[in-house]
Amino acid sequence: IWLFTLLVFVLAGCEKDEIGNTATEALAGEWKVTVDAVDEGGNVIAEDFNGIGHILMNTYNTAANTPTEMYVDDIGHFWEYKVRVKSDVNALTFATNGAAPNEAYECDVTIDGGKILLGAATTPHGTPADSIVYYISFSDDEPGMRYKVSGYRYSGLAVDD
């Protein structure tokens, strides 16, 4: 009886539960991006705004884990913003649809034109990677200032640092 009980526990312990992915997996990631100041038409007026170079930022699911919203977060590397955006996982797009509250500090943030382009970027060491691009503006910035954030999905490899 003891051997049978032990066998049941061992076999039951070997079953693996399927672990699902987040609802925004296709849009989520760590990104290496640059920030350019742009005019109202999206034309670059100042490359590498303030000379900050490449910065890391994240996109990730909310606690609700739905495919229709996610966070865009610069982790304090550019303006210090963490903004909840509307997302479309099938179209690989995201935007705030108007001004949205910044969860990092008190100001409103507008993100538009956000999209992920699969395999459209090249990392510094020459391999293909997903691309990210979006436009962002802040209520506490000079009126009319807008920025283009663009880059590639970070590989984590030292050659991409």
Q: Collect all residues with Cβ–Cβ distance below 8 Å to 93 and sequence separation of at least 6.
A: 87, 114, 115, 116
The position carrying tokens 């996982």 is 89
- pLDDT at residue 10 in the model: 62
pTM recorded for the entire structure: 0.84
| pLDDT tens digits along 18-37 | 556 888 989 999 999 999 99
- pLDDT at residue 1 in the model: 67
The angle subtended at Cα 136 by Cα 130 and Cα 139, nearest 5°, is: 160
Chain-wide mean pLDDT for the chain? 89
Are 126 and 136 in contact, with CB atoms under 8 Å apart?
A: no
